[in-house]
Amino acid sequence: MKICYLDAYSGIAGDMTVGALLDAGADAEALLDGLKTLNTGAEFRIEKTKRKGIAGTKFHVMPPEGDKKHRHLHHIIDMIDAAPLPKPAQATAKLIFQALGEAEAAVHGVEIRKVHFHEVGAVDSICDIVGAALGFHLLGIDQVQCSPINVGSGTVTADHGVMPVPTPATARLLEGKPIYSSGPTMELTTPTGAAIAAALSKSFGVMPAMHLRATGFGAGDKDFPQQANLLRILIGEASRAVEATTVSVIEANIDDTSPQVLGYALDKLMQEGALDASIEAIQMKKGRPGSLLRVIAKPEDQERLAQVMFAETTTLGLRIYSAERRVQEREIVQVSTPWGPVRVKISAQGAAPEYEDCRRIAEEKNVPLKDVIAAATVAYRP
């Protein structure tokens, strides 16, 4: 599986994404030929440039003079469908515009079919989004992942007047995603860039383990004194190697919650996406017995799981810190037992039948749990 990791340390915009994909090796002639089939009348230029001494590619769209159309979503979808583009690229472009439309509809409190695309409906934004979709297709990308996104700060002037950064549409698109602000006081992540990242990224966080094959840098318009105004992409094949990832550890010492409530909280946290959760008996101040509730979470899930801990326990405070998590190579296979299929997790440590599968079969078939586990273990043995 070929992965593209978006490293948005200086934000992300549509033109930066196209530039980075071209810089990483996407066929420029094929990409431009595809954009011309949209019949927008735009002209294009690909420029090799530098930002803070780092070489990158700047993608320019020159719209036809006087194009000020405010398009609805269906107008843009019709343009994409009418162009003889590769079907996967068409689907990707429409997915991005759908995400944009939903964000704009929510911000303005209207139905999506009534949304007028202003800046994002302009020719340059249409070409940026379709160009990004073509770039991912030309490079054979199977999966997109993204870093936490630097959105910038301050204000920006748009069709609706002066707006805070991130703009309402950008903020809506990035809800639930890890963002931060660093560097110059300006918009670093545009709605177009946010839509590309939000619509396509399978996950947000640290770089995935992969065999690196190519990198590319897409340049923004300005050359900042503090940092290189570039979007970096890294492309490689997914690795089955031992993996080290960054996780968030969330802890609370609790001495006034019943064991039943703590048990429920533990189950709830796992259902909500915790990587692991545990309860440990501790001795607290003044000799009081208590419990240490510890949760291991993906960084992007940290805030949501912290709120679950506050909601489901009586704690008034949490400790949150980063840790490194090492993950061994593993795979899941399915085996047959006399009572039905069971998944088995395989690693260097051996084979372990999935507890939930075994428990379900034991309850449904009225069979002792230990017998189901034993049968699944035997069924896996070579």
Q: What is the pLDDT of residues 137-182, one digit of tens each?
A: 999 999 999 999 999 999 988 777 788 999 999 999 999 899 999 9
Q: At what angle do helices 123-138 and 191-200 cross, to 10 degrees?
A: 30
Per-residue pLDDT for 23 more than 60?
Answer: yes
Reported as a single tens digit per residue, the pLDDT across 97-123 is 999 989 988 887 888 877 766 555 588
Tell me how far apart the alpha carbons of residues 223 and 184 are, in angstroms, rounded to a whole number: 11
**How much is the pTM?**
0.69
Contact 60, 15 (CB under 8 A): yes
Superfamily covering domain 330-380: mk0293 like domain (3.10.20.300)
Phi first, then psi, for residue 106 (nearest 5°) are -65, -40
What's the mean pLDDT when you consider all of the chain? Answer: 90
Looking at domain 243-327, its CATH class is alpha beta
Residue type, 98: Q
Tell me how far apart the alpha carbons of residues 357 and 84 are, in angstroms, rounded to a whole number: 47
Residue tagged 């090799």 (tokens): 48
Reported as a single tens digit per residue, the pLDDT across 50-68 is 999 999 999 999 988 866 6
Domain ranges of the chain: 2-238, 243-327, 330-380
Per-residue pLDDT for 46 more than 70?
Answer: yes
Give the CB-side neighbour count of residue 212, counting CA atoms within 13 A.
9
